[in-house]
Structure 1
Amino acid sequence: MTNRLSSKDILALGFMTFALFVGAGNIIFPPVVGIQSGEHVWIAALGFLITAVGLPVVTVIALARVGGGIDALSSPIGKTAGVVLATVCYLAVGPLFATPRTATVSFEIGIAPLTGESPGALLIYSLIYFAIVIGVSLYPGKLLDTVGHFLAPLKIVALAILGVAALLWPVGGMAPATETYQQAAFSSGFVNGYLTMDTLGALVFGIVIVNAARSRGITEAKLLTRYTVLAGLIAGIGLTLVYLALFKLGSGSASIVHQNANGAAILHAYVQQTFGSMGSIFLGTLIFVACMVTAVGLTCACAEFFEHYLPLSYRQLVFTLGLFSMLVSNLGLADLIKFSIPVLTAIYPPCIVLVLLSFTLSWWNKNSRIIAPTMLISLVFGIIDAIKASDLKTILPAFAQHLPLADQGLAWLLPSLAMLVLVAICDRMLGRQQVKAHEQ
């Protein structure tokens, strides 16, 4: 008899997926978009939702179709290139950026208002935080119980309270949109959605979701795919509701915080204004749970991945990744975000191309002929966008500043589409030639 998940376990799997996604970036970036986009908030929100909800859900579905691993998804570009891509993604959403960011965000919102921005306080907090992360991550087989049945519902209830408050009790008027959002609200929201790292997170979490289902005795490929897709859809609905509430919260906070404030400051100011000191405790607890769940998921996923390529056991990798993330987190939130923006701007385009083209594999005579060149072009122009977003932008030639859609951070889009059309034509022509040669 084939094992099947109960409705309760399917919901728990969806809640776990949602909880893994909703970490630091998901909570701090939407309020920033909300307050800076002003009267264009819902246009910017649409762009943000495409990269921060649509693409992650599509990525989970793409991974479910191939069994849950980025290695299978990247097979058309070859094993070596696939391992390089996977390594970059795991490092970015793991110990280099996303995992340390969970600690710095939860510190800035929950602890810094009490202790101040003290390096010593951050060090002590990060030691305790990552000790807990390591302890939970050592038992990945219990994730569905610890996260899906306990921590995720707690996080959802807390986010629901914050979302309802944002809708019912706005604290002030809307500020005029900043120059960036006046000129390109949609594309600015689209690019800001990168910062949540959710598409990269989906590439990493896919195998964690599948393994959580397997831990309940599910072995049939079709059932694993179905349950993973359902989990992704449940997570997508939850993410959308959270983001809409946070956009609303940010857009109505201009009277209590500066328009250039970061998301942590906006949230703290809103909760302090609306709920007082008890609200600050509530927000700190919410952010701590949200960030902790994401950090555990990322640590588990990274340890499981690197176990296949390094001479270290899973447990050794959990300790190594946790300690490294702790050290990086002590750079502070501002520096982490500053360093992460160029890297994410460069690696997001080829990941988007890989995920979207994975649904077209049956169209082509030879998949590698299509996917590898299109990803390469998207990476080259993504790197140009990344340099523009960094302190090295002066090294770029003048023409790079005036590429189509360059002002929107989307210079990679049109060249990638042009390459796709070109290689698709070549694939058709070469495919026909091979057929003719075979017939002769």
Structure 2
Amino acid sequence: MSQIKSTSLSTGLAMFSMFFGAGNITFPLIIGQNVESGIVFALIGLILTAVVMPFTGLMSITLFEGDYRSFFNRIGKTPALIVILILLGIIGPFGAIPRLVTLTFATLKVYFTGMHMLTFNLISCFLIFLFCWKKSRTIDLIGYILSPVLVFSLVFIIVKGLFFSTPEVMEGSHVPHPFLYGLKEGYNTMDLIAAFFFSSLVYERLKQQAGAKGKATSLFTSVFKASLIGAALLSIVYIGFGYVAAHFSHALAGTPIDQLVGRLGHIVLGKHAGLIVCLSIVLTCLTTAIALTVVCADFLQQHIFKEKVKYEYSLGLILILTALTTTLEFTGIVQMLSPVLQVIYPSLLVLCLFNILHKTLAVKSIKIPVFAAMSLVLYFQ
């Protein structure tokens, strides 16, 4: 029993670290800064799209035994391959991974003004390569080593900001519909997309822990317990950062979005901001980038190169493309991804829901609802 609890705890911490990346640490701050007194409704919207939906997606893939290819193949093998490639590009070298690197650079540059982007990118990609090289230990490294430090540093910022600093008086919301605003900002975290691919890492780990006698129902239960831990931690951090940003919204006014965390650290922590903020950002970006890079490199090696090249070469290619994309900088990457996410996210939600219905209630319909959702979004854009 203690082994099961330990596995669920470490896997839940790993889930939290995987999901809590560049989007997660930035967008709650953007929401808090812009909605102020409407923070409650905005955070409810954010949690729905950035916590509930991603973990629902992760559970739905668990029903397919962690096989995301079977999950997507229900819309047809060719459409599935195209969708998978697009999604991996978004959460991989053309979206999430370089966004992580650029956020880290923007934050650290406040304290190390002489730092050059190219040098920083190369160092970051090299560190990611080292962690991903021994991919069999990725979950253990994230769950046991990096996660506790990450959680501690983030909680310190939240507690200091909410209980040991003098907040400003929150004014009215700067947006007309805080709930819808939070709902849409949750798309930008891209966590539903990430969940589709993280699930294979999580499922395989729990399957190995369960051994040959592990049953599908017990594995599903283990994933569910770990998901509750990860979702709870994610929600707490979202709420905490959202409220801190709302309290100090005037002081954050005019701050570029990729420097919000660094600026907030200065306001809340004063002279100690450098150490705490840098630590939290570096760990956040590193843990998420590790998981994303492993998933992308695996798919590239197994399904594109058909295992004709070594894993290390696939890993290297992903990180080279990542380094090139970082030249767009954080804001440029966000602007590039936003319209794409607006189009594909509703269809992914529909796909997720109908696959759950397929596994639980034997509902066979899938193609018409998914492509209808895509068509409607394109029509109203």
Which TM-score band (shorter chain)?
A: over 0.9
Answering whether residue 195 of structure 2 is matched by residue 202 of structure 1, we say yes
Give a deviation string over 1:405-429, Cα, whole Å, max 9, x none. xxxxxxxxxxxxxxxxxxxxxxxxx
The question of whether the paired residues in 1 share the 8 Å contact of 2:346 and 2:373 is answered with yes
Q: Distance in 2 between matches of 1:151 and 1:177?
A: 36
Is residue 225 of structure 1 aligned with residue 220 of structure 2? Answer: yes
1:14-163 aligned within 5 A: 14-115=12-113, 121-163=116-158
Shift of 1:70: 1.8
Residue 5 of structure 1, CA deviation: 4.5
Q: Which TM-score applies when normalising by structure 1?
A: 0.81
Q: CA RMSD in A?
A: 2.1
Q: Report the alpha carbon displacement of residue 170 of structure 1 after superposing the two structures with TM.
A: 4.9
Q: What is the alpha-carbon distance in structure 2 between the residues aligned to residue 329 and residue 277 of structure 1?
A: 30
* Aligned residue in 2 for 1:173: 169
Q: Secondary structure at the match of 2:74?
A: helix
* Contact 2:45–2:181 under 8 Å retained in 1: yes
**1:277 corresponds to which letter in structure 2?**
K
Distance 2:277 2:173 in 1: 27
- Residues 89 and 204 in structure 1, CA contact (< 8 A), matched pair in contact too: no
Query: Shift of the alpha carbon at 1:243?
Result: 0.3
Question: Structure 1, unaligned stretches of length 5 or more?
Answer: 389-440
The amino acid of 1:147's aligned partner reads I
Tell me, in whole angstroms, the C-alpha distance in 1 between the residues paired with 2:362 and 2:258. Answer: 50
The residue type paired with residue 249 of structure 1 is V
From 266, 289, 303, the counterpart of 2:260: 266
Equivalent pair of 1:171/1:273 in contact (CA under 8 Å): no
- The letter for the 2-side match of 1:317 is S
Task: Give the partner amino acid of 1:338.
Answer: Q
Q: Which residue of 2 aligns with 1:376?
A: 371
The aligned counterpart of 1:278 is 272
TM-score in terms of structure 2 length: 0.92
Cα deviation digits, residues 49-78 of structure 1 (max 9, x gap): 100000011111111111112212223212
**5 Å matches for 1:256-405?**
256-258=251-253, 261-311=255-305, 312-361=309-358, 367=364, 370-384=365-379, 388=381
Residues 161 and 268, structure 2, Cα contact 8 Å, conserved in 1: no
Letter in 1 for 2:300: F
Please give the secondary structure, in 2, of the residue aligned with 1:77.
Answer: coil
Q: Hey, what does 1:255 align to over in structure 2?
A: 250
The number of residues matched between the two structures is 375
CA 275–89 in structure 1, closer or farther in 2 if over 3 Å, else same: same
Greater RCO, CA 8 A, separation 6+: 2
Q: Rg bigger for which structure?
A: 1
The one of 176, 180, 184 aligned to 1:187: 180
Runs of 4+ in structure 1 deviating by more than 4 angstroms, as ranges, are 362-366
Q: Quick one: which amino acid aligns to residue 297 of structure 1?
A: A
Q: CA deviation at 1:215?
A: 4.4
Of 106-115 and 37-46, the range deviating more from structure 2: 106-115
When residues 35 and 365 of structure 1 are mapped into structure 2, their CA distance, relative to the original with a 3 A threshold, is: closer
Unaligned runs of 5+ in 2: none
Give the secondary structure class of the aligned counterpart of 1:177.
coil
Cα deviation for residue 314 of structure 1 reads: 2.1
Q: Residue deviations 1:338-367, cap 9 Å, x none?
A: 101011111111111111122211687761
Deviations 1:343-396 (A, max 9, x none): 1111111111111122211687761xx2111111211233356xx5xxxxxxxx
| 8 Å contact kept, 2:37–2:173 | yes
Q: Say if 1:201 and 1:363 are closer, same or farther in 2 by CA, change over 3 A.
A: closer
